[in-house]
Structure 1
Amino acid sequence: MTYPIRPIDESEWPGFAGVLAEGFGWTPQPAQDERFKAATEFDRTLVAFDGTTMAGVTSVFSLTMTVPGGRQIPVGGVTAVGVLPSHRRRGVLSALMRRQLSDIRERGESVAALYASESLIYGRFGYGRAASELSYRIDKHRSAFVRDTPADPALRLRVVSPAAARADFERLFAAVVTRRPGRYERDQHVWDGILADEEHDRDGWGSLRAVLAEDDRGVRGYALFRTKSAWDRDGVPSGELRLIELEAADPAAYALLWRNVLDRDLITKVEAHARPVDDGLVALLADSRQLRATWSDELWVRLVEVDKALTARAYAAPVDVVVEVEDDVCPWNAGRWRLTADTSGAECKAVDDEPDLTVPVAALGSAYMGDGLLGAQLDAGLLREHAPGAVRALATAMAWSPKPLAGLVF
């Protein structure tokens, strides 16, 4: 069967949200539903119809995202992907994904990105795991820092109401957003979600709390967190703290904010999620074994137009390779591309030359933000190298520090 696909208007939101609720098995609170609706770009929604039934849905956020080198480019932020359980394995998702990628290309966005609810799904549409994240729990009583921890006597901490300090958070984040690949600019809807603090937003934790690190010139960092009060049967405090976000403009502010989070009274455990794999806290802890971390995939990236995407980012080392790209979803990408790049810039153009390596487009997506595993994919037989050393040369050039992290699900 074929399913007609089109965008919806605001009046059709209840049906769109209903497909997502059914597909994800969740029931949002009215306020959560309204926030999502307010953030939705209705001209970038897509719905596959089975008669009058919405069988599958998806949408896109128009993001401005940082790529290696600090440049910001327009990126199609894929979101709200769902298919009714009654319509699985009928080609609904495939039709939506293909149409969506074509639309993203027409918008002039050479890169698409998403968070995968299930990591099995999106590789077949050319998305590659482009960033990873750490989640960890720290025993407060074993969280001493190394002796040479950065400090600045001009810094001071100030406890603030999160709602009242929103402008400070926004300014600080805007100042640091270009430092790490994958970070994207936040509009008012994103900040509304971050600072939402109704009972249903707390997930069993306490109200949202915040602390600023500042000096006489202004704010240099902030931490957002929630706590959960608890006591054991002997009256000993055993509270927990969940870090929502910690951003800092410099190492001294970063260390001071972490120290404040870890030193909170009546807290014994601190947990943090969506932290970069090269998080500075790992180096700050005197006993790094106390940071019990778990790894997970984070951002997935798809090159919608290979030449434009590869030209838009910076490279860590010179490279000159002919890459044969395999792409059966976006056929305009399939073919041979010569990438010539160094630390000053890059050029990517179609050629007829013999390839140095052959790669599926998802492999380039996985390497795009600077954290790819091209060497591991070669070892696994997922890439074909025709010129010895070509994969190593490309992997070296595309690697980047700091490692990528989007930092917030969209």
Structure 2
Amino acid sequence: MASAHHHGSPDGDDPAWTVRDSTRKEYPAFAAVFAEAIGMPVELLLDGERDFPSAEYDRSLVALDGERIVGTTTAYSLTLTVPGGPRRAAGITDVGVWPTHRRRGVLSALMRRQLADLRARGEKLAVLWSSEGGIYGRFGYGPAIRQFHATVPRAHAVLRPDAPRDPALTVELTDPGAVREEIEELHRRTAPLRNGQILRKPGWWGRLLHDAERDRRGAGPLRAALVRGPDRAEGYALYRVLHKWENGLPEGEVRAVEVVSATPAARVALYEHVFSRDLATEASLEHLAEDDPLTVLLANPRHLVRTGFDSLWVRLVDLPGALAERSYATPLDTVLEVTDRYAPWNAGRWRLRADGEGARAEATDEAPDLALDVSHLGAAHLGRGSLTGLVDAGLATEHTPGAAARLDTAMHVPRAPLCGTSF
């Protein structure tokens, strides 16, 4: 996860920090700096990488003060679902600056170098999870997904009578390892239905399903509820049960880590299974899209308590390439004037045209219809940002009336994006 503890120099000018590639041999020192920056035990990083290797050491960068590492960042090679289909993306993580070197331009130096490296690799998009929302906008990232955690009191966890229920479906409760192959196949099958999903590699599944005691937070072991139809699995839920009593009464909680379904009836079966566990007075569910079916399936949705947050932030590394590789809901012909402080190759005026045959963005000298920052396009890239809202706030400038609304309409997707994989 990207760290929240450093902002670069106040004036944005980088002092002469040396930024260079890191190595596998250097990983313990790299991990020590990142762990100190975000205040976590370094053993968590070292143990995780030992048990479930996923680091791409040739994509790691360090900033140096003399010979000492004072800043870190790395990238994963990801496949991300975007409007138009899965696309390559760089997943930025392990961003850290040694606490005594904050606000001195270390992060700025790392970000500049990293963006140049991503461009050289031909990656058009970069994405990250920001542990603090005030940092990454200045580096061109925009919050592209809002999602939520939910809690539902057991007494009110009743679905509508007309919710689709299929008697041909069965629910099996088991250890996740016993059905891992089916779980992975279901995720691959359903991920393209929501923009923002990351197609998980085997090592990522190992980390997700590894049931470490520290991840349980007092609850029991991770369980998998697998919904099967006549031909194949149709959904799964990964959850834990907290066993708790107060004053002689059960106060247990069901904590769902992930719910994935290929059909509406499978989703209903999973929710009704989670809500039916005995001795639980509350169910909590992590990583739900803003329009998750639960928001309309509950008989009384008022009892669904949501805690919203921004998850995935998106950055256009290659602006014309990224705009051309996504799909658009309506034909479009508009000129954008874009500012980009950390990737100057994106700055300038671009004519974006889209029709039924595809899209293209080309440099132009024509008068702009809309002036905005590259971070604003990143926030809109997965189909649910509001450029009109940015114009209303005075953060983007509309030179042609209705230009923002037309671009919003063209970029819009019907389903809210979701990212269920943090990194």
TM-score by length of 2: 0.94
Pairwise CA distance, 1:200? 2.1
Is residue 316–residue 343 contact of structure 1 (8 Å, CA) maintained in 2?
no
Instruction: Determine if the alignment matches structure 1 residue 44 to structure 2 residue 47.
Output: no
Please state if 1:218 is matched with 2:218: no
In structure 1, C-alpha distance between the alignment counterparts of 2:405 and 2:77, rounded to whole Å: 34
Hey, which bits of structure 1, 4+ residues long, moved more than 3 A? none
Distance 1:10 1:361 in 2: 33
2:150 maps to 136
Q: Deviations over 1:305-340 (max 9, x none)?
A: 111101111112222111111112111111111111
| Offset from partner CA, 1:58-96 (integer Å, 9 cap, x none) | 000000011013x11110100010000011011000000
Match of 2:218 among 186, 204, 208: 204
Pairing partner for 2:80 from 51, 65, 75? 65
Q: CA RMSD in A?
A: 1.2
Q: What is the rounded CA distance, in whole Å, between the counterparts of 1:342 and 1:371 in structure 2?
A: 20
Q: Report if aligned partners of 1:320, 1:338 keep a CA contact under 8 Å in 2.
A: yes
- Partner residue, 1:145: 159
Are 2:347 and 1:338 equivalent residues in the alignment? no
- 383, 386, 394: which one aligns with 1:370: 383
What is the match of residue 96 of structure 2?
Answer: 82
What is the CA–CA distance in structure 1 between the aligned matches of 2:40 and 2:189, rounded to whole Å?
Answer: 36
The 5 Å alignment of 1:3-22 reads: 3-22=17-36
Could you tell me which amino acid in structure 2 is paired with residue 265 of structure 1? D
Does structure 1 residue 241 correspond to structure 2 residue 254? Answer: yes
Which AA in structure 1 matches 2:132?
E
Cα distance in 1 for residues equivalent to 2:279 and 2:227: 22
Supply the distance in 2 between the matched residues of 1:342 and 1:64 (Cα, whole angstroms). Answer: 25
Q: Distance in 1 between matches of 2:215 and 2:49?
A: 13
Identify the match of residue 371 of structure 2 among 344, 358, 361: 358
Residue 35 of structure 1, CA deviation: 2.4
Paired with 2:158 and 2:42, the residues of 1 have a C-alpha distance of 40
| 1:316 pairs with 2:295 | no
Query: Counterpart in 2 of 1:173?
Result: 187
**Any residues of structure 2 matched to 1:21-40 within 5 Å, and which?**
21-29=35-43, 32-36=45-49, 38-40=53-55
Question: Aligned match of 2:177 in 163, 174, 178?
Answer: 163
Corresponding residue of 2:291: 278
1:114 is the counterpart of 2:128:
yes
CA distance in 2, matches of 1:227, 1:206: 5
Distance of 2:223 and 2:256 partners within structure 1:
10
Residue 327 of structure 1: which of 316, 340, 344 is its match? 340
User: How far is the alpha carbon of 1:275 from its aligned partner?
Assistant: 1.0
Q: Secondary structure of the equivalent of 2:62?
A: strand
Q: How much does 1:29 deviate?
A: 4.1
User: 1-side partners of 2:83 and 2:388: how far apart?
Assistant: 19
Aligned partners of 2:218, 2:387: CA distance in 1, in Å? Answer: 41
Decide whether the 8 Å contact of 1:182 with 1:405 is kept in 2.
yes
Q: In 1, are the aligned partners of 2:226 and 2:235 still within 8 Å (CA)? A: yes
For structure 2, the residue ranges without an aligned partner over 5 or more in a row are 1-14
The answer for the alignment partner of 2:12 in structure 1 is none
Equivalent of 1:263, from 276, 290, 297? 276
Secondary structure of the residue that 1:124 maps to in structure 2? Answer: helix
One-letter amino acid of the structure 2 residue matched with residue 368 of structure 1: H
**What secondary structure is seen at the aligned counterpart in 2 of 1:39?**
coil
Q: CA deviation at 1:189?
A: 1.5
| Amino acid of the structure 2 residue aligned with 1:40 | A
What is the count of residue pairs matched by the alignment?
A: 407
Give 1:91-102 correspondences, 5 Å limit: 91-102=105-116
SS in 1 for 2:89: strand
Q: 1:15 & 1:322 partners in 2: Cα distance?
A: 47
- 1:383 pairs with one of 371, 396, 418: 396
**Counterparts of 2:304 and 2:41, CA distance in 1:** 34
Distance of 1:315 and 1:280 partners within structure 2? 25
Alpha-carbon deviations, 1:25-81, whole Å to 9, x = none?
A: 011545x52323621100000000111211000000000011013x11110100010
8 A contact 2:28–2:46 mirrored in 1: no
Q: Structure 2 CA distance, aligned partners of 1:396 and 1:343?
A: 15
Any conservation in 1 of the 2:32–2:42 contact (CA below 8 Å)? no
Instruction: Give the aligned residue type for 1:161.
Output: D
Structure 1, unaligned stretches of length 5 or more? none
**Given that residues 147 and 287 in structure 2 are in contact (C-alpha distance below 8 angstroms), is that contact kept between their aligned partners in structure 1?**
yes
Percentage of identical aligned residues = 45
Corresponding residue SS for 1:163: helix
User: Any idea what SS the aligned residue of 2:267 has?
Assistant: helix
Residue 344 of structure 1 deviates from its aligned partner by: 4.5
Equivalent position of 1:188 in the other structure: 202
